[in-house]
Structure 1
Amino acid sequence: MEFNVKHGALETIKTGCLVVGINEARTLTGTAASLDGICGGQISAAVKRGDITGKSGQSLMLFALPGISAQRVLLVGTGKNAEMSDRDFRKLAQKVVATLKNGGATDAVLALTALPVKNRDLYSRTRLLVETVRESLYQFDQFKSKKADKPRLKKCTLWSADKADAEALKRAILHGQAISDGTDLTRDLGNLPGNVCTPTYLAKEAKALAKQFKGIEAEVLEEKDMKALGMGSLLAVSAGSAEPAKLIRLSYQGTDAKAKPHVLVGKGITFDTGGISIKPGASMDEMKYDMCGAATVLGVFKAIVSLQLPINLTVLIASAENMPSGTAAKPGDIVTSMSGQTIEILNTDAEGRLVLCDALTYAERFNPASVVDIATLTGACIVALGSHTTGVMGNNDELIEKLLDAGKQADDRGWQLPLFDEYQEQLDSPFADIANIGGPKAGTITAACFLSRFTKAYPWAHLDIAGTAWISGGKEKGATGRPVPLLTQYLLNQVQG
């Protein structure tokens, strides 16, 4: 989708469709009122007839209005509140795309950026609009023999009455497009089946991404390398699979080499059967999404590098396939992690923390400014927060607050859960330094407590995206691309101050 910016007299702009918002007030205001005067009151006449009232979710297409150069005018309802919520604004944008993407127009002018959205300035509401339009146009059909029709809508022009707004609009488009490109990559990788997206495939994708941009370092550690480093925990997960594990690194230097890098660590379990502690068969196909943490860090990396942000960024992906076999790890096995801490594996389906703990220890060598791991880690997080909010925990309050603020800015929200010392006791083992599960209570928190044992050398936060990384079941099933917007915003904030 191409986006550009235009200002000036709206009625003189030639386009396939002009999109204008109207609220539930009886009297037209703003852009709608101006256009109504030019077209001889045809918009207000439609309102009086009850063709549209301005209620949120409503729309009405008008054709060939006199005095207006646009071939069509699409009226969309903005509701009765003086300010729209993020959710209402997104729904409006989704309605516009649903109406236009397979309609007659190949381009549209959106006179929506001036609509009042609560707690959002011109830049942030415009970026939200761009990202929502892109999200609504996403398609994944590469395995269908009959491809879906490509949307007819190819170009969106964002209109502003004031030329002075052009810079904010252009910056919003630049950032929104980069975040959307990263989100699309994350969704594509997440939606791939497990027989295609293996640890080896993720390594190839990472190397391919590195080749798209100059100055990117790419490194893939093989199982023999991990064994030499003492990564017994990570290797215990891949032991039951014919697919070899990979530890993947991409590094981008956008500023002084002496500046500490921010490190993102992604869980990359490309398929999770549960291992010997095998999962129930129902919906097990969705365990291809257990690598969405890995997909996220690749999406964020693409967004940051495409923007050429002045920041140093390293992403690590701990990737393996968790399968049951004669060589698989068993409940009761004890392994030694790279940190030297021993782990009693009480449940082989708690494998994400086993691959992450060695990657988090490995992250120490980069002397990081911060480390954030992203993982579809616990079903308990869905019980606690549902599918709307990412769980956030960590050892540094300032870092956690920055992530929560970034989530609000990006409309990709997180919520902090506690990591009180009392929860650590649930991980006690009579035979090893630590058990890999803490029992049925507070499963999301005890999983983060486990990871915290390996992150004492730097500021660290953990994002549990088990509820937000994909949509389950039905026609809407698929990867969401979250939390690419949250993490990209977090890194943008490090640069913008």
Structure 2
Amino acid sequence: MEFFVKSGNPEKQRSACIVVGVFEPRRLSRAGELLDEISEGYLSNLLRRGDIEGKVGQVLFLHHVPNVLSERVLLVGCGKERELTEAQYKQIIAKTISTLNDTGSLESICFLTELRIIGRDSYWAVRQAVEATEDSLYSFDQFKTTKENTRRPLRKLTFNVSSRKELARAELALQHGLAVASGTKACKDLANMPPNICTPLYLSEQAKILEQRFEKIATKIVDADQMAELKMDSYLAVARGSKNQPYMSIMTYNGGVEGQKPVVLVGKGLTFDAGGISLKPGAGMDEMKYDMGGAASVYGTMEAIAKLDLPINVIGILVGAENMPDGNAYRPGDILTTMSGQTVEVLNTDAEGRLVLCDALTYVERFEPECVVDIATLTGACIMALGHNISALVTPHKGLAHEIITASNQASDKAWQLPMDDEYQKQLDSPFADMANIGGRPAGTITAACFLSRFTKKYNWAHLDVAGTAWRSGSNKGATGRPVSLLTQFLINRSESDTTELSN
């Protein structure tokens, strides 16, 4: 699909379809009023008859509206004007796109990007419209023998902004939105892959493909033999029960100046998590292919920043492994020695993500990072705390927390900071080792982060638990692509800050 931005009056637009909003109760948006004026009250007469109330999600297609140059007019319900929320805006865009796509509108000019949302500007409206459009059109059907193809799909979409002085920001929003949407799609495609195909080896192969696609990305793969030499015994223990060998993929993006310290993203990549000896319940176990959602989001983010050609150095790590039960699997009661030399008593083999991440977090010390963010579908407790709408952020570093929360708000990919007081560390005490791998049921998301924090003393670090946001369940199940938008915005902000400092 092709996207464009422009600034123009609706009555002068010639297109297959022009999209304008209707507010409750039966009140046209500014663009709608201009069309109503040239059509001599045609639209307002329909509203008076009650053809559309303006509730969010309502649509009304009109053909050959008098004096309107466009072939069709699509009226879209936008709810109450002063109560329009960010979530409603994205819902409105998604409904608009599905309607246009299903009704044979090959092209359209959309005036919904002129809607006013408190605290948001045209940049946000255009970028979110692009991301919402691509999200609503996404499908994962490569394993279906019969595919549902739209006969006349939407191919060209132009977003209108209210004044020409907003065009520069709108063009930037288009650029950012397309890159994020591409990265989000890459994340979804990777996470939606079945686990018999998406193994740790497959993850490493995809990382190598990214190297081939982008000149500024170089990929290195660390295999099981190299992990053994590095004494990553905790990582290897998790993978021991599977015939699929572990691979850690290291993608280095060199966009910044030489010598600039990198931002490191570490993604948990459990391509299937059966729980090991602490076997998970059978119901819903198919969704444990999504336990590599953190790695998928790092992969998608690396694609997004490469497409944007950001002036920053970033290292993305896919921590690939599979957690299965067999005669060689690690057991509850085992004591593992991590790469850092610290020992861990295993109380539950289904708390495996932290056991692979801890060795990866020790490994990244060699990069002398500016900061490290790990992303993981780590705890069910996170879903109990925050549900499926907001990711959890845990970090002892206030400045880094502020950066990530700010980026999450800018990108509308929300995260919420949980506390990390020293008192929580006591829950990890073990009588036999330096620590246990779980801290009991209370504050499970926080104690998991406390475990990881013990391996991050040499750099600024933050942890994102995306167990509730990386995928959705039910009849519409699938990967969400989060938090690619958040991470990309975080790196955009970082690159702009670094560029400003260098120019000064």
Q: When the two structures are superposed, what TM-score results if normalisation uses the length of structure 2?
A: 0.96
Q: Aligned in 2, Cα 1:27/1:266: closer, same or farther, shift over 3 Å?
A: closer
Give the CA deviation at 1:169.
1.4
Structure 2 residue 199 is the aligned partner of structure 1 residue 198: yes
Q: Contact conserved, 1:83 with 1:116, CA < 8 A, in 2?
A: no
Q: Contact conserved, 2:270 with 2:323, CA < 8 A, in 1?
A: yes
Question: For 1:373-412, what aligned pairs fall within 5 Å after superposition?
Answer: 373-412=374-413
Structure 2 residue 470 is the aligned partner of structure 1 residue 469: yes
Give the CA deviation at 1:13.
2.1
Matching residue of 1:254 = 255
Question: For 1:95-174, what aligned pairs fall within 5 Å after superposition?
Answer: 95-150=95-150, 152-174=153-175
Distance in 1, matches of 2:50 and 2:404, equals 45
Give the CA deviation at 1:82.
2.2
Distance in 1, matches of 2:90 and 2:194, equals 30
Q: Contact conserved, 1:289 with 1:470, CA < 8 A, in 2?
A: yes
Matching residue of 1:4 = 4
Q: Contact conserved, 1:438 with 1:447, CA < 8 A, in 2?
A: yes
Matching residue of 2:415 = 414
Distance in 1, matches of 2:261 and 2:396, equals 18
Question: For 1:289-300, what aligned pairs fall within 5 Å after superposition?
Answer: 289-300=290-301
Matching residue of 1:343 = 344
Give the CA deviation at 1:53.
2.2
Matching residue of 1:264 = 265
Q: Contact conserved, 1:291 with 1:376, CA < 8 A, in 2?
A: yes
Distance in 1, matches of 2:42 and 2:382, equals 52
State the one-letter code of the partner of 1:323: M
Distance in 2, matches of 1:483 and 1:161, equals 30
State the one-letter code of the partner of 1:345: V
Q: Contact conserved, 1:254 with 1:308, CA < 8 A, in 2?
A: yes
Structure 2 residue 16 is the aligned partner of structure 1 residue 33: no
SS at match of 1:113: helix
Q: Contact conserved, 2:428 with 2:438, CA < 8 A, in 1?
A: yes
Question: For 1:301-450, what aligned pairs fall within 5 Å after superposition?
Answer: 301-450=302-451
Distance in 1, matches of 2:69 and 2:417, equals 51
Give the CA deviation at 1:495.
2.1
Distance in 1, matches of 2:225 and 2:257, equals 33
Distance in 2, matches of 1:236 and 1:250, equals 24
Question: For 1:175-254, what aligned pairs fall within 5 Å after superposition?
Answer: 175-254=176-255
Q: Contact conserved, 1:272 with 1:322, CA < 8 A, in 2?
A: yes
Q: Deviations over 1:230-262 (max 9, x none)?
A: 100000011111100011100011111211100
Q: Deviations over 1:114-133 (max 9, x none)?
A: 11011101111111111111
SS at match of 1:82: helix
Query: CA RMSD, aligned part only?
Result: 1.2
Matching residue of 2:490 = 490
Q: Contact conserved, 2:338 with 2:359, CA < 8 A, in 1?
A: yes
State the one-letter code of the partner of 1:272: D
Matching residue of 1:44 = 44
Structure 1 residues 272-281 or 155-164, which shifts more? Answer: 155-164
Matching residue of 2:85 = 85
Structure 1 residues 350-359 or 107-116, which shifts more? Answer: 107-116
Q: Contact conserved, 2:264 with 2:372, CA < 8 A, in 1?
A: yes
Distance in 1, matches of 2:229 and 2:464, equals 29
Q: Deviations over 1:431-458 (max 9, x none)?
A: 1111111112111111111000000111
Q: Deviations over 1:349-393 (max 9, x none)?
A: 000000000000011111111100000000011011111110100
Q: Contact conserved, 1:360 with 1:455, CA < 8 A, in 2?
A: yes
In the alignment, structure 1 segments of 5+ residues that lack a partner are none
Distance in 2, matches of 1:216 and 1:227, equals 26
Give the CA deviation at 1:7.
2.8
SS at match of 1:185: helix
Q: Contact conserved, 2:11 with 2:34, CA < 8 A, in 1?
A: no
Q: Contact conserved, 2:333 with 2:347, CA < 8 A, in 1?
A: yes
Give the CA deviation at 1:69.
1.4
Distance in 1, matches of 2:279 and 2:5, equals 54
> Aligned residues: percent identity?
52
Structure 2 residue 71 is the aligned partner of structure 1 residue 71: yes
State the one-letter code of the partner of 1:84: L
Distance in 1, matches of 2:57 and 2:28, equals 18
Distance in 2, matches of 1:83 and 1:262, equals 39
Distance in 2, matches of 1:245 and 1:478, equals 24
SS at match of 1:87: helix
Distance in 2, matches of 1:24 and 1:261, equals 50
Give the CA deviation at 1:81.
3.2
Q: Aligned in 2, Cα 1:328/1:27: closer, same or farther, shift over 3 Å?
A: closer
Distance in 1, matches of 2:138 and 2:108, equals 18
State the one-letter code of the partner of 1:131: E
Distance in 2, matches of 1:288 and 1:365, equals 30
State the one-letter code of the partner of 1:142: Q
SS at match of 1:101: helix
Distance in 2, matches of 1:424 and 1:139, equals 43
SS at match of 2:127: helix
Distance in 1, matches of 2:434 and 2:229, equals 22
Q: Aligned in 2, Cα 1:65/1:81: closer, same or farther, shift over 3 Å?
A: closer
Give the CA deviation at 1:339.
0.5
Distance in 2, matches of 1:31 and 1:189, equals 40
Give the CA deviation at 1:83.
5.2
State the one-letter code of the partner of 2:160: W
Give the CA deviation at 1:163.
2.5
Q: Contact conserved, 1:470 with 1:477, CA < 8 A, in 2?
A: yes
Distance in 2, matches of 1:27 and 1:329, equals 65
Q: Aligned in 2, Cα 1:441/1:28: closer, same or farther, shift over 3 Å?
A: closer
Give the CA deviation at 1:165.
2.2
Distance in 2, matches of 1:437 and 1:410, equals 33
Q: Contact conserved, 1:131 with 1:176, CA < 8 A, in 2?
A: yes
Distance in 2, matches of 1:213 and 1:14, equals 39
Matching residue of 1:481 = 481
SS at match of 2:191: helix
Distance in 1, matches of 2:169 and 2:83, equals 20
Matching residue of 2:288 = 287
SS at match of 1:318: strand
State the one-letter code of the partner of 2:430: S
Distance in 1, matches of 2:402 and 2:271, equals 31
